[in-house]
Amino acid sequence: MDKNIKTKCGFVAVVGRPNAGKSSLLNWIIGEKVAMVSHKANATRKRSNIIAMNGDDQIIFVDTPGIHESEKLINQFMLDEALKAIGDCDLIVFLAPVTDKLTHYESFLEKNKKNTPHIVLLTKIDMVSNEEILAKSSEYAKYSDKYIAMMPITIKKSSDLKYLLDLICKNLPYSPPLFDTEILTTDNLRDIYKEFIREAVFEKISDEIPYEADVKIDKIEEKPNVDVIRATIIVEKDSQKGMIIGKNAEAIKRIGKAAREKIEKLSQKKAYLELFVSVKKGWSKNKEGLKNMGYDIDAN
């Protein structure tokens, strides 16, 4: 590396258990909604790169599925995605909700085979007292030789953001930016819109719709003043199709409205969204079905 290079740049994997708040953290960091946020555990499926500038330094955050164990094929794909991010990055940010037991962190330490340097973020601290924050910090202190820093953080406090970005950049290699400094993500619009629609499904339909529900973007036509998007929501049971469509198609109208608003906020122009629902029984339980939906286990 050229010693004259003054800027820092590197890949930072953001990891933690399902629903630890990874996507919320990343949306807060870049000030835009790009990563999918859902109350559904295991909603994030694939790694995605989200890019933040801190002065002239560039951080490529890698959003990952939650670290968990399951025998389901799709969960195995998701765990592989998280483990690949852990193995390939320059630095790891581990999200540790302050109310969690240390077992999630201990499991992460076992999976961090390369001993990649990591920072522990104690999250959701606005939900507990200062005494509870101190008590949890003391619990993690016995592993202080494992992490390079531990930081209590809340995404409601803007002053935490600069400190966090400075801390991350301090531990990245010297390098010029690897990506255009004006972009927020390397994901294409097709992937982002797919996740917005999935998020809208989980927001607007009851908990009876499992996280295996997925979306396939059939067509995007970008016109000067409007994006025309055709997409199909994929479920595994006829009963789930009925719930997503709803009586008099009210449910799918709610989903479409919520998804369209997310899309328009990001694209800054009108969107025409046409949604369909298709039943593919057992698609998430076999390799061929997963591959057809873009989740190739063999490739992992």
The answer for residues whose C-beta is within 8 angstroms of residue 140's C-beta and 6 or more apart is 96, 102, 105, 120, 122, 147, 150
Q: Coil, strand or helix: which one is 185?
A: strand
Tokens (6 digits) for 288 = 């061929």
> Is residue 55 assigned to a domain?
yes
**Average confidence score pLDDT of the chain:** 84
pLDDT for the residue 76: 67
Report the pLDDT value the prediction gives residue 74, as an integer from 0 to 100.
61
pLDDT of 5 above 90: no
Q: Which residue has the higher pLDDT, 176 or 286?
A: 176
- Using DSSP, state whether 54 is helix, strand or coil: strand
Q: How far apart are CA 225 and CA 220, in angstroms?
A: 14
The C-alpha angle with vertex 42 and arms to 294 and 237, in degrees rounded to 5, equals 65
Rounded mean pLDDT, 34-44: 49
CATH number of the domain at 232, please.
3.30.300.20
73-82: average pLDDT = 65
Gap between the Cα atoms of 251 and 249, Å rounded: 6
**Helical packing angle, 250-267 and 238-245, nearest 10°:** 70
pLDDT of residue 10: 94
Q: Is residue 69 part of a domain?
A: yes
Distances (CA, A) of 8 to 1, 31, 134, 147, 279: 11, 21, 32, 20, 47
Query: Are 16 and 155 contained in the same domain?
Result: yes
Does residue 190 sit in helix, strand or coil? Answer: helix
pLDDT tens per residue, range 117-159? 999 999 888 888 999 999 999 999 999 999 999 999 887 677 7
Q: Is the predicted pLDDT of residue 206 greater than 90, yes or no?
A: no
Q: Is 99 helix (H, G, I), strand (E, B) or coil?
A: coil
Domain shared by 113 and 216, yes or no: no
Domain boundary residue, one of 142, 170, 198: 170
- The residue out of 107, 142, 170 marking a domain boundary is 170
Same domain, 158 and 210: no
Residue 11's pLDDT is: 92
**Residues 153 and 199 placed together within one structural domain of the fold:** no
The rounded distance, in Å, linking the Cα atoms of 127 and 122 is 12
Question: 219 and 95: one domain?
Answer: no
What is the reported pLDDT for 38?
Answer: 45
pLDDT at 2 over 60: no
Q: pLDDT value at position 98?
A: 92
Q: Average pLDDT of 14-32?
A: 83
Same domain, 117 and 203: no
Q: What percent of the chain has pLDDT over 70?
A: 83
Co-location of 163 and 44 in the same domain:
yes
Dist. CA 132–CA 136, nearest whole Å: 6
Based on the fold, state whether residues 43 and 154 are members of the same structural domain. Answer: yes
Mean pLDDT within 89-104: 93
Instruction: Please give the pLDDT value at position 50.
Output: 86
> In which band, very low, low, confident or very high, does the pLDDT at 298 lie, cut at 50, 70 and 90?
low
- 68: pLDDT strictly greater than 60: no
Q: What is the CATH number of the domain that holds 141?
A: 3.40.50.300
pLDDT, average across residues 50-55: 91
Sheet holding 149-152, edge to edge: 48-54, 57-63, 9-15, 91-97, 118-123, 149-152
Total domains present in the chain = 2
- Distance, CA of 197 to CA of 209 (rounded, Å): 14
Domain of 57 in residue numbering reads as 9-170
Whether residue 163 is found in the same domain as residue 196:
no
Question: What would the two tokens of residue 115 be?
Answer: 């001993």
Determine the pLDDT at residue 300.
Answer: 56
Containing H/E element for 122?
strand 118-123
Q: Could you tell me the pTM of the whole model? A: 0.73
Residues 242-271, mean pLDDT to the nearest whole number = 91
d(CA 121, CA 123): 6
Tokens of 299: 């490739």
Residues 114, 199, single domain; the answer is: no
| pLDDT value of position 228 | 94
| 257, 119: one domain | no
156, 230: one domain? no
pLDDT of 111 > 90? The answer is: no
